[in-house]
Amino acid sequence: MIKKKICMLGAFSVGKTSLVQRFVKSMFSDKYLTTVGVKIDKKTISVNGQEVNLLLWDIYGEDNFQKVQMSYIRGASGYFLVVDGTRRSTLNTALELRERVEENIGNVPFILLFNKSDLEDEWEIDDEIIDQLSEDGLTVLRTSAKTGTGVEDAFLLLANKMLEG
């Protein structure tokens, strides 16, 4: 059995928990280790015919009062940087987090998720910015935890990236 650790990172309330919930559909989902600031979920998926056990670490969002604890990302094989498309500042948070992550665990596959794509009217982040990031070599996806758009794809893509690297 192949096991991999994946971290969900991003500002507070961007939809990390919702994305995991949508992907896992698990009844464990309410087991948030609140004091510790992590919620762990698990899902087995099949990548190129190979069973992979994904351990999903949903890490309490970064806000003014609490920083993301970098020790939680130790040993992660991949991570998501989640951005709330309707809040411009969350993109900055995500990019800052990426720098801190790379300082800590180096170059590990990650995907930048622009979540809440169902609220496209309220978006504060233009397509140009997203295209630019994509041109800069980042893997960028649009998701909606609400409608499920792109969620499965995001996890499969990251799993694929992790198994390649």
Partner 1 sequence: MRNLFTGKISGKTSEEQRIKADDPVEELRKLLVGPLQSQFDEIRELLKDQTLNPEEVSRILPEAIMIRSSRDKQIVTAMESVTEEAIKASVKKNPANLVDTLVPVMLPAIKRAITSLIKEMIQTFSATLEHGLSMRGLKWRFEAFKTKKPFGEVALLHSLVYQVEQLFLIHKETGLVLQNVVTEEAVAQDPDMVSAMLTAIQDFVRDSFGAGQDDTLENLQFGDRSVWIEQSSQAVLAAVVWGNAPAEFPSLLRETLDAIHFEQLDNLRSFNGDTAPFEPTKDRLSDCLKSQFKAKEKNPYVLWGFLGLVMLCLGTWSFFSVRDYMRWRDYLDRLHEEPGIVITETEKQSGKYHVFGLRDTLAADPVEILKEAKIKPGSVKFNWELYHSSHPTFIIRRISSVLRPPETITFELKDGILWAEGKASHQWIIESEKLSETIPGILGFRSDNVIDLDLKQIEIISEKIENTLFFFDRVSVTVKSDQKDAVDELVKDVKNISDLVQIFDKPVRIEIIGHTDSVGSDERNLEISKKRADELFSILVSKGFNAEMFISKGVGAEEPLKEEISEADREFNRCVSFRVIIDSEETRSDESENISPEDRSGADKAESDPSDKKNGVSEAQPDSSPEETENEEETLLPPNWG
Ligand X SMILES: Nc1nc2c(ncn2[C@@H]2O[C@H](COP(=O)(O)OP(=O)(O)O)[C@@H](O)[C@H]2O)c(=O)[nH]1
Among 4, 5, 7, 17, binds Mg ion (CB under 5 A): 17
Which partner, ligand X, partner 1, Mg ion, none, binds residue 116 by CB below 5 to 8 Å per kind? ligand X
For ligand X, the binding residues in 39-98 under the rule CB under 6 A are 61
Buried b (16+ CB within 10 A) or exposed e, 78-112: bbbbbbbbbbeebbebbeebbeebeeebeebbbbb
- Of 11-19, 89-97, 114-122, 141-149, the window that binds Mg ion (rule: CB under 5 A) is 11-19
| Residue type at 162 in one-letter notation | M
Position with the least CB separation from Mg ion: 17
Cβ closest to ligand X, residue 13 vs residue 89: 13
* Contact characters 65-94, Mg ion, x per CB under 5 A: ------------------------------
Q: How many chain residues interact with Mg ion (CB under 5 A)? A: 1
- Of 7-15, 50-58, 106-114, 126-134, the window that binds partner 1 (rule: CB under 8 A) is 50-58
Examine residue 16 and tell whether it contacts partner 1 (CB under 8 A).
no
Cα angle 138-108-36, degrees, rounded to a multiple of 5: 110
* CA 151 to the chain's CA centroid: 10
Cβ closest to ligand X, residue 5 vs residue 16: 16
3-state secondary structure of 57: strand
Residues 6+ apart with CB under 8 A from 107: none
Give the residues across from 140 on adjacent strands.
112
Cβ closest to partner 1, residue 1 vs residue 99: 1
The set of long-range contacts for 125-133, using a CB threshold of 8 Å and a minimum separation of 24, is: 125/83, 125/85, 125/88, 125/91, 129/91
Footprint of partner 1 (CB under 8 A): 1-5, 25-28, 33, 35-38, 40-42, 52-53, 55, 57, 69, 71-72, 74-77
